[in-house]
Amino acid sequence: QVQLQESGPGLVKPSETLSLTCDIYGYSISSGYYWGWLRQPPGKGLEWIGDIFHNGITDYTPSLKSRVTISVDTSKNQVSLRLSSVTAADTAVYYCARLCRSGDCFDYWGQGTLVIVSS
């Protein structure tokens, strides 16, 4: 059974960089699939941030592209997210997820981790 678990600081100061990791269990990243990050601000809908293939190919949502870096560490079976120059608008629950083989859906998700941007 594939399981994903997000972790990282729950509080980040404005203008700093948010860094999260997603540990993947039950599946080796090196075997394939795209792995994505999404977020949900309080009271708002889900937003796709971007995704990465095991070989490092990435795709980002245009609105965040200048501030986002998604990376993969196959030795640790982890995917990471960095979001720079954060503001209060980046406060959200952040999820990692595996894209379906077709790339058209998200078939496994983590429980999410809340990140609050505040001084």
Partner 1 sequence: DIQMTQSPSSLSASVGDRVTITCRASQSVSSSLNWYQHKLGKAPKLLIYAVSILQSGVPSRFSGSGSETDFTLTISSLQPEDFATYYCQQSDSTPPTFGQGTKLEIK
**Stretch of 12-20, 26-34, 44-52, 72-80 lying at the interface with partner 1 (CB under 8 A):** 44-52
> Closer to partner 1 at the Cβ: 72 or 97?
97
Compute the Cα dihedral for 109, 112, 117, 119 and give only its sign.
negative
* 90, burial (CB in 10 Å: exposed 0-12, middle 13-18, buried 19+): buried
Is residue 111 a contact residue for partner 1 (CB under 8 A)? yes
CB of 31 to partner 1, least distance (A): 18
Is residue 10 a contact residue for partner 1 (CB under 8 A)? no
Closest alpha carbon to 3 in 109, 104, 116, 81:
109
- Contact residues for partner 1 (CB under 8 A)? 4, 44-48, 59, 61-62, 95, 97, 100, 102-112
